[in-house]
Structures are given as C-alpha cells and as structure tokens.
C-alpha cells in the first residue's frame, strides 16, 4: 500500500487575502494541474478571504462559543463555495476530487477514526478527498472554527502520509523576516521567531508552524513551500527537496 501525500493549500495561495471573497483562480488552476499528477493524495484547504472574512465579521474564533447562528451559516457556506471552486478546478485538470466537509469525519474537534480510515481507502482507490477548514458544531448552541491546519495534524496522525506539504504564499520559514533568510531545514524543537505578522482568526503562520512541528514530532517530514510556485508542491510530493523549509520528522 502506497501511503498518501497530504497537502494543505493555504488561504493565502488560493484567495486574495486583501480582497473579500476573491478566489485566486489562476493559482488554483495551476496547482490543480500539478496535483493531477500526484496519487494517492488527500487535500486540505484554508479559508483565506472566504472563511476568514466572514469569521471576522461575525467575531467567530477557534474557541467554542454560542456565536451568531446566522454567522455560522454564512461562514460555512463561504467555505463550501470556495471548496466548489477548487474541486471544479481539479476535475477540469483531470483529478477525481471528492469534497468532504469536516463533520463527515470529525465530531467537534475530535477525529472519527473509522471515517478517516475511509478517507485513506478512497485515496488508495484513486479518488482525491478534499476537505477544508470550517465552522463546526461543538454541542448545544456552541460552534467553533476548526482550521485546516488542525485538520492536517488530525489526518497526518491517522493516515501516516509519506509526505506532508503546507503550501502558503511565502517560500517557507524565515530565520529573519527583514533579511528574508530562509531556513532550509529544521527540527521540530527548533526555535522560530515571529516578528508578529498579521495573525488571522486561526493564528496565521504561527499556527501553521506549530501544526508542522506537531506532525514532525509524530515522525513525519513536513515541507513548507510556496504554493504560488506550484512546481515546488510537485517536487515535494515526488520526494525531492524544493526551495522551502523542511521540518524533519523525529525518528
Ligand atoms: C480557515 O481555515 C477556516 C475558516 C476561517 C472557516 P484555515 O485557518 O486553515 O485557513 P487559512 O489557510 O489560514 O486561510
């Protein structure tokens, strides 16, 4: 059995973060062409100017709370809409994507192991499961944002992918933001300085690095690459080390 490749398409790559509800169709299409050559594959995508835009408007966060129910509908629907754009682009590129909202395989923030196993089986059989950060039910009137980065850890833990790739709009982790000096390789216990770049509702880059470290601590290599240069995703998926930051899995 070939272990799948697990890819997160960050909201900064697939949308224009400074423009509400604007999908970066060109970037999505270019990534889709590259992903069509990767199998088995599981894809997670973020919210960018869709989910994050409305989460901010309705003051919704990862912390479970009784948020405005109308906001819950609007945030969820915006993610379904973005997901549609991605899935349709992948179909056009020749992949066989299958969209799965997180509550199909989670309960609140907890994974449903038998359902995640099915996701693995689908990937093995030639489908590409595609899921996304979303707003999820936490019980009673409570809801919470479940980020795509948190889904990455959850899926990595259960599926043990051969490659874990985070695609963002930057080349990787920088040692120094000003000099833009890229860290090509680090260990999950390495130190990173955040010169606090704008954090969004789910914690921005900091959250990604934290999840990447978590996954690397489980023994899997994690590659952080620039998704606006999609060939780097292809190279990382193919076992090469493209420009980016490799977080070495703890052996
Ligand atoms: C965001 O998911 C989900 C919502 C806000 C509904 P992510 O937190 O993974 O999105 P990006 O990649 O940072 O945009």
pLDDT in tens, 74-131: 999 999 999 999 999 999 999 999 999 999 999 999 999 999 999 999 999 999 999 9
Our count of domains for the chain comes to 1
Q: Which atom of ligand 1 is nearest to the CA of 9?
A: 12
Decide whether any atom of ligand 1 lies within 6 Å of the 46 Cβ. Answer: yes
Rg, Å, the chain Cα set: 17
DSSP string of 111-154? E-HHHHHHHHHHHHTT-EEEEE-EEEEEETTEEEEE-HHHHHHH
The H or E element spanning position 223 is: strand 222-226
- Domain of residue 157 covers 5-247
Q: What is the CATH number of the domain that holds 182?
A: 3.40.1160.10
The H or E element spanning position 175 is: strand 174-176
pTM (2 d.p.): 0.94
Nearest CA to ligand 1 atom 9: 148
Question: Which residues, in sequence order, are CB contacts of 77 under 8 Å at separation 6+?
Answer: none
| Ligand 1 center–CA 123 separation, angstroms | 23
Q: DSSP code of 240?
A: -
pLDDT in tens, 136-187: 999 999 999 999 999 999 999 999 999 999 999 999 988 776 777 888 998 8
């Amino acid at each position: 059995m070939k272990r799948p490749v697990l890819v997160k398409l960050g909201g900064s790559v697939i949308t224009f973060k400074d423009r509400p509800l604007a999908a970066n169709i060109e970037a999505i299409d270019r990534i889709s062409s590259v992903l069509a050559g990767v199998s088995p594959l599981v894809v997670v995508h973020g919210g960018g100017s869709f989910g994050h835009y409305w989460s901010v408007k309705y003051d919704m966060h990862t912390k479970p709370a009784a948020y405005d129910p109308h906001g819950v509908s609007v945030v969820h629907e915006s993610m379904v809409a973005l997901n549609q754009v991605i899935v349709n682009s992948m179909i056009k590129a020749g992949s066989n994507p299958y969209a799965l909202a997180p509550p199909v395989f989670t309960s609140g923030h907890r994974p449903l192991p038998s359902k995640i196993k099915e996701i693995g089986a689908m990937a093995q059989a030639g489908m590409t499961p595609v899921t996304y950060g979303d707003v999820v039910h936490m019980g009673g009137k409570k809801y919470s944002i479940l980020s795509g980065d948190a889904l990455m850890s959850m899926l990595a833990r259960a599926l043990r992918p051969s490659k874990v790739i985070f695609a963002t709009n930057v080349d990787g982790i920088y040692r120094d933001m000003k000099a833009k000096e890229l860290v090509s390789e680090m260990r999950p216990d390495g130190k990173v300085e955040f010169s606090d770049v704008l954090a969004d509702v789910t914690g921005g880059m900091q959250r990604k690095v934290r999840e990447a470290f978590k996954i690397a601590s489980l023994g899997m290599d994690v590659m952080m690459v620039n998704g606006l240069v999609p060939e780097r995703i292809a190279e990382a998926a193919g076992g090469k080390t493209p420009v980016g930051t490799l977080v070495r899995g703890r052996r």
